[in-house]
Structure 1
């Protein structure tokens, strides 16, 4: 085929070039490109050989024309923790690569008045085959209602309340927080401070609910002064810990709803000369790389963020009948927790 004068010598080879050189129909080439059935092995091999010979690379536009799909999915994600965002993007991209699908990542600014307009513009311009909605977009009714109105497939990653017929991937945030608080109580702690995450994330209320349930089950009265608001970031964790440690009877343990906030609590304690864990236990949530870097390393809840993202993309790409995939969490015990001083 090297001397075949019909092979294009300039410009980018097109799907019609492949069709002509392979002696098959345009539709047959389209089916090969889109990994569809109803193509004989002989024709498939012939098309693939021509594609390799002339260096044909199917464009996204050609794929869309051939299969009425863009072979792109959009990820809508916003989180104050860069590690979380990276893990979500890596997981979705990893699953997409298996099917030669492109991931489009769209930052999500929940405070922007043009938020819905931005997402609609993305849909109209890129025509994604579906969307993965990460927190807090996964609980934004404006976004959900618009996608349902348009009939666009989407999957919710770590959502709050379930929506009938809408697939999702999650962990049991409430049970995970319950498990950590129960662990601290088991060490002998009664005065336990809790730092709540950003109010706009469903996980924040879920983790607080788990903490309160553990206290109730242990017969420990809730002290509202021991509950401080945070924003999932280091600064808010430090501020919340300072407020807790300023109390006349400060807690002997602080459970922060993210590792970043727990790191802030560690710094607040260190600056006061409070030894962790001899004088104060500190626990986090996520098991981000930070959890092993800080001193002492954090006892925390490990949530498999990347695998959750992989599963979300898989639900979207295979269009599974499964409405929810719930993954396990794990309590990881490290050096930041111990019995209280009086125990």
Structure 2
């Protein structure tokens, strides 16, 4: 068999030299698990020797899918979405895959129809669903019906291991609040995440767990709602710091709101951590960049997103990817003794 007219090696050249069928070469290129390792290595060696580069348009046509990974979200936390994107991009670097991001409105009655149209138009290779829409079973069923591989990200188990990555938000927050208790704090305020987010509910449960373990009674006057934004953190901080007696420490359900609490404390003339201790959640860039640097729970968002993307693009490697991730407390300078 001859090379293509432009002199570049073809899939037929690879098959002939490797002594396998064209279909086997295609399976190697598409990372099919239906191959033994010896055959895979032999074909990959020939591909490398010839410098063969698969035609992405031809592959997409054969698979009836584009080499696009979709990220679908309805999340007010821009830092969280950015962290997910970075994790996905690290997984697809040096591949033919690309990322397409689609914001949606989870409160719209047309959300499922909008997502259906998006999936049908884009012919995605796979899709990642971020919380809180990842908690919508109907959305996962829609992906299944359309034959679109999906992975759901969450703070609790949402699906089988093939279709999810999850963190341990409740336990991580309980440990963070216990850390404040260990520093002598008994009046610990709480800024919740938005209603309808499972992560917000899990983090609130972790706060309650820690208080109960420490024998501290809940006090609604030092609990406030937020929306995972800096502005709602300021508003929540102002409310909590107006309580009498005011809290000596505040746990905020993400770093953006914790930064807002810090801003509210400064406006009130309070010093952190001398007058008020603050702990956040996520360990986004803002946590290390504000002053004092924020003690926070490191949510392994990039690692979770990278694992999720690998599950989407590489069936052979997917089985080796974790589905559960643990968050760690990162001690900085925003916590002092009561």
Conserved? CA contact 1:22–1:50, under 8 Å: no
Structure 2 CA distance for aligned equivalents of residues 226 and 67 of structure 1: 56
Summarize the Cα distance change of 1:100–1:89 in structure 2 as closer, same or farther, 3 Å threshold. same
Residue 113 of structure 2, aligned match among 98, 117, 126: 117
Q: Deviations over 1:192-228 (max 9, x none)?
A: 1100011122110000000001100111111111211
**What residue ranges of structure 2 are gaps of 5+ in the alignment?**
none
Structure 1 CA distance for aligned equivalents of residues 281 and 291 of structure 2: 16
Residue 60 of structure 2, aligned match among 48, 61, 64: 64
- Superposition deviation, residue 306 in structure 1: 0.7
| TM-score, normalisation: structure 1 | 0.83
Q: Is the counterpart of residue 206 in structure 1 residue 202 in structure 2?
A: yes
Corresponding residue for residue 181 of structure 1: 177
- Superposition deviation, residue 66 in structure 1: 3.0
Corresponding residue for residue 90 of structure 2: 94
Summarize the alignment of residues 143-158 of structure 1 with structure 2, pairs less than 5 Å apart: 143-158=139-154
Structure 2 CA distance for aligned equivalents of residues 306 and 163 of structure 1: 20
Q: Deviations over 1:82-118 (max 9, x none)?
A: 2211110111122123543232222233234432222
- Superposition deviation, residue 135 in structure 1: 1.3
Q: Deviations over 1:114-164 (max 9, x none)?
A: 322221112111212221111122112331231233343211112445335
Summarize the Cα distance change of 1:291–1:66 in structure 2 as closer, same or farther, 3 Å threshold. same
Q: Deviations over 1:51-80 (max 9, x none)?
A: 5xxxx7613x31123345433321213322
| TM-score, normalisation: structure 2 | 0.84
Conserved? CA contact 1:157–1:170, under 8 Å: yes
**What residue ranges of structure 1 are gaps of 5+ in the alignment?**
none
Number of corresponding residues: 326
Conserved? CA contact 1:252–1:279, under 8 Å: yes
Corresponding residue for residue 332 of structure 1: 330
SS of corresponding position for 1:157: strand
Structure 2 CA distance for aligned equivalents of residues 43 and 130 of structure 1: 24
Residue 256 of structure 2, aligned match among 237, 256, 260: 260
